[in-house]
Amino acid sequence: MRKIIHLDMDCFYAAVEMRERPELAGQPVAVGGGARRGVVTTCNYEARKFGVHSAMPGFQAKERCPQLVFLPVRFDLYRAESAKIRRILRDVTPLVEPLSLDEAYLDVSGLDRYAWDIAKEIRKRIFEETRLTASAGIAPNKMLAKIASDWRKPNGQFAITPDQIEAFMRDLPVRKIWGVGPKSAEKFNQRGIQTCGDLQQFTQAELVQQHGKWGSELYRLCRGKDDRPVEPNQVRKSLSNESTFSDNLTTLEECQAAMEVLVKELEEDLRVKASDRHVYKAFVKVKFADFTRTTRECICEKPSLETYQTLLLEARKRSPQPIRLLGSGVRFVEDRVTPSSPQQWLELE
C-alpha cells in the first residue's frame, strides 16, 4: 500500500504578494494578467468571499468586488519561492513529482514514519522558511491525496485511510474523479449520475461500452483505486495549459489578454518541468461557445507570445462564436526514453 502526500500551497501567487506587501493584510487581493482587461490567475480568501475566483475576467472581478487590489503576476518571485519549497520536499524524499509551481506529489511509502507527521513537518518547515501556508492531502494514491488536500484548506491537512475509502467514495461527486472535467460531469449529471456511488452501480462492461477504453479506468477510479506512480522524471511528449472562462470571451482584446496569462504560465511550467527538453512545435487550443474546438500549431523551437497570438488569430477565424476555453502548449522532440521512476532504474541496472 502506497503512502502519497499531495502538497498544495494556499492561493500561492496572492499569498506571496501579500507577504511582500504587509499593508495588504485583510484586503481582497487578486493576481492576474497585467493588461487592462486581464483574467484573474489567483486570488486570496478575502476576494473569494465576494465571489471572485481564478479564470474570471478582471473587469468582472472588479464588478463583484470594487475594492479588489488587482496585481500583475511576478513569476520571478513565485519561481524563487517554489524552488525553496521544492528543496524542502526533496529533503524528505527524492520521489517528488511537481505538478506546477505550487503543487507536488510525494511518495513517502518507503519512509518509516507516519505520513501524517511527515506532512505536518513539511508544512511547518515551509512556513518557517517562507512565511507561506500549505495544505496537504494524505492517501494511498494520487487521486485521493489530491482530493484530500482540498478538504482542510487553507493551512490544514486531511488523510484518507484505506478503510475509509469505500465510504468516502460513495458520496464523492463524479466531478472529483481524476480526468472528469466540467463537461463530462455535466453529462453524467444529466443521466442522473451525481456521485461516485452512482457510477459504481455500473458493471465494468457497461462502462467500457459507454466510454471505451476510459471506461475500465473509470470503473477503478470511482472506487478510489488509482495505480499511477509518483513520477519524478516524467517523460512528456507535450506540455500545455488551458482556462475555461466563466463568461465567454467575445472581443479580440479579451482573448489576447487571456492568452498572455496562459503563455506566461506555460513558460513557467516549461522552466519547472521541462527545462531540459527541446521544443519543436507550439500550439493553441480553442473551444467555442457551441463546444466546437480547434487547434492551430506551427513548427517553432522558441515560441514567443507573438507566436501564440498569431496562432490565436488564425484559430479565431474558424468560427464567429465567442470563446469559452483557451489553451497554449508546446510539443517536444522525442528524446531517448529515460526511466520515469527509481524502481525502473533499479530494474534496468
Give the residues lining the site for Mg ion (CB under 5 A). Answer: 8-9, 102
CB atoms within 10 A of CB 260: 20
- Taking the least distance from each CB to Mg ion, the nearer of 153 and 296 is 153
Distance separating alpha carbons of residues 97 and 269, to the nearest angstrom: 13
- Taking the least distance from each CB to Mg ion, the nearer of 153 and 316 is 153
Distance of CA 265 to the CA centre of its chain: 11
- Taking the least distance from each CB to Mg ion, the nearer of 9 and 118 is 9
Residue 226 carries which DSSP code?
A: -
Please pick, among 17, 46, 97, 103, the residue that the annotation labels catalytic: 103
Closest approach of Mg ion to the CB of residue 14, in Å: 10
Closest approach of Mg ion to the CB of residue 111, in Å: 24
Closest approach of Mg ion to the CB of residue 81, in Å: 12
Distance separating alpha carbons of residues 166 and 70, to the nearest angstrom: 43
Q: Give me 233's grid cell.
A: 522524471
- Taking the least distance from each CB to Mg ion, the nearer of 78 and 219 is 78
- Taking the least distance from each CB to Mg ion, the nearer of 136 and 263 is 136
Closest approach of Mg ion to the CB of residue 103, in Å: 6
Q: In the chain, which ranges are E strands?
A: 4-9, 29-32, 40-43, 69-72, 96-100, 103-107, 134-139, 157-159, 238-249, 279-288, 293-299, 323-332
Q: What are phi and psi of 29, to 5 degrees?
A: -130, 135
Distance separating alpha carbons of residues 86 and 104, to the nearest angstrom: 8
Of residues 155, 97, 81, 177, the one with CA closest to residue 108: 97
Residue 211 carries which DSSP code?
A: H
Distance separating alpha carbons of residues 86 and 211, to the nearest angstrom: 37
DSSP 68-82: -EEEE--HHHHHHHH
By the 8 A CB rule, do 40 and 61 touch? Answer: yes
- Taking the least distance from each CB to Mg ion, the nearer of 150 and 198 is 150
Closest approach of Mg ion to the CB of residue 146, in Å: 11
Annotated catalytic residue 103:
yes
By the 8 A CB rule, do 97 and 230 touch? Answer: yes
Q: Give me 168's grid cell.
A: 468516502
Closest approach of Mg ion to the CB of residue 290, in Å: 32
Distance separating alpha carbons of residues 344 and 349, to the nearest angstrom: 9
* Catalytic residue positions, numbered: 103
